[in-house]
Amino acid sequence: MKVTAVLLIIGSCLVLVLEGLGFPEQEKDPKFWNAWAQRTLKDALGLQRLNQNQAKNLILFLGDGMGVPTVTAARILKGQLNGQSGEETQLEMDKFPFVSLAKTYNTNAQVADSAGTATAYLCGVKANEGTVGVSAAAVRSQCNTTKGNEVTSILKWAKDAGKSVGIVTTTRVNHATPSAAYAHSVDRDWYSDNEMPAEALQDGCKDIARQLFENIPNIDVIMGGGRKYMFPKNTSDVEYPGVAKHSGTRKDGRNLVQEWTDKVKNKKGHYVWNKKQLLSLNPNNVDYLLGLFEPADLPYDLERDTETDPSLTEMVEVAIKILKKNSRGFYLLVEEENNYQAQAAVPLSMETHGGEDVAVFAKGPLAHLLHGVHEQNYIPHVMAYAGCFGQNTDHCLTLNGAVSHSGTSAVVTVLSSIAALFTVNRLLC
């Protein structure tokens, strides 16, 4: 079960704690609530002056496991850690002016998984469960259904438009969510050629790790886990030498990290595998960055080794410093995810998953276009429209002419609870 379950359990415990805390004295006075509502109304009236500038920078934050109940529990916990009763607290995304709901189903599954949904909110088309970067015409695990059904992502659209692009994740960089940004695979589990059936290899399908470096070879920033999928089989890991489960997995003998390093050695490219190396970089001297901080997924923030593993915040800060050097702006995908292994009498490969709509919090130029209940594949179309690239660019002359171009503006979209709604959670993936 994902982290959703953890926070839901915490949420139920918070109710018990709350009974002993009472509530602030000011909440007894109707004036308090009336004043709060009037401030909110004033803010809402201000939204009538819509921001219709062109977005230079676009960031998509994906909170894996952050369903609406989990967001509520997190809000309460934040408040209680600050000595309050909790419910009245505001998370940063609560302050975003626009909120909508996204319908997350896959074309062949009412309750979706994170591969098909990633294809939706990154590539703009609904897809089948377990597939990334391919249309619904592709069938999971059937390699021969790949060709001709590939779909491109907003990350590629942005790169083709001259923007810098980046991926920052606490999963392996070839996991379901980030892989939809660059790969075309009929199976989300084909992390390296070691996980692929012989028939798929014979038919010419590529593993996801290989596609990371070949499909869009000039991704500016890549940070996350998944180190072992980049090295030849049985290659000892630099951080965990001699530990078999962390050793390289590739059967083709390729060292993808070395290949990447060779290509960018004269282009201000750097490879790092620990926190010290990352934070010692001068972003002004880095144009391409590959950071692989664990053999597989990164641990939870509370469990990580703070000496060796960077936090998500630290990774994002470095990424933005590198990407923002591009005068045309950037697109950045940020994902936080890890699996929670629940206590169980009988171990299974999957757990329960919600199937309700998910919240999308948005701010920045044209963020008001996220306004109601949408199909999930609508999201990248909106972001590309705001950034004036991709399929819709006719309006850009108007934006750059009648309306001033906002050089520092950014569309920031937070997809809450995307993975909280996905089915087929693999506990050990």
CA 387 – CA 291 distance, rounded (Å): 27
Residue 53 CA: distances (Å) to CA of 19, 116, 295, 360: 47, 32, 42, 20
β-bridge mates for residue 225, sequence order: 172
311 catalytic residue (yes or no): no
CA 104 – CA 195 distance, rounded (Å): 27
User: Are 368 and 111 contacting, i.e. CB atoms less than 8 angstroms apart?
Assistant: no
Backbone angles phi and psi of 34, in degrees to 5: -65, -40
Torsion of Cα atoms, 253 then 258 then 259 then 264, to 10°:
180
Torsion of Cα atoms, 137 then 146 then 178 then 115, to 10°:
40
> Of the residues 100, 114, 153, 185, which is catalytic?
114
348 phi-psi bin (left φ>0, alpha ψ -120 to 50, beta other): beta
CA 291 – CA 289 distance, rounded (Å): 6
Q: How far is CA 135 from the centre of its chain?
A: 20
β-bridge mates for residue 336, sequence order: 63
Q: Does 113 count as an annotated binding residue? A: no
User: Taken in order 284, 218, 225, 311, is the CA torsion positive or negative?
Assistant: positive
Backbone angles phi and psi of 18, in degrees to 5: -60, -35
User: Are 265 and 287 contacting, i.e. CB atoms less than 8 angstroms apart?
Assistant: no
At residue 337, what is the residue type? Answer: E
Provide, for the chain, the percentages of residues in helix, strand and coil under a 3-state DSSP scheme, each rounded to the nearest 5. 35, 15, 50
Range list of H helices, 215-356: 256-264, 275-279, 312-323
Q: Does 177 count as an annotated binding residue? A: yes
Backbone angles phi and psi of 368, in degrees to 5: -65, -10
Please choose, from the candidates 377, 404, 403, the residue with its C-alpha nearest in 3D space to the C-alpha of residue 391.
Answer: 377
Q: Does 64 count as an annotated binding residue? A: yes
Please choose, from the candidates 140, 145, 141, 142, the residue with its C-alpha nearest in 3D space to the C-alpha of residue 129.
Answer: 140
In DSSP notation, 315-367 reads HHHHHHHHHTTSTT-EEEEEEE--B-----SS--S------S-EEEEEESTTG
Q: Does 170 count as an annotated binding residue? A: no
Residues noted as catalytic: 114
User: Which residues contribute to the annotated binding site?
Assistant: 64, 175, 177, 335
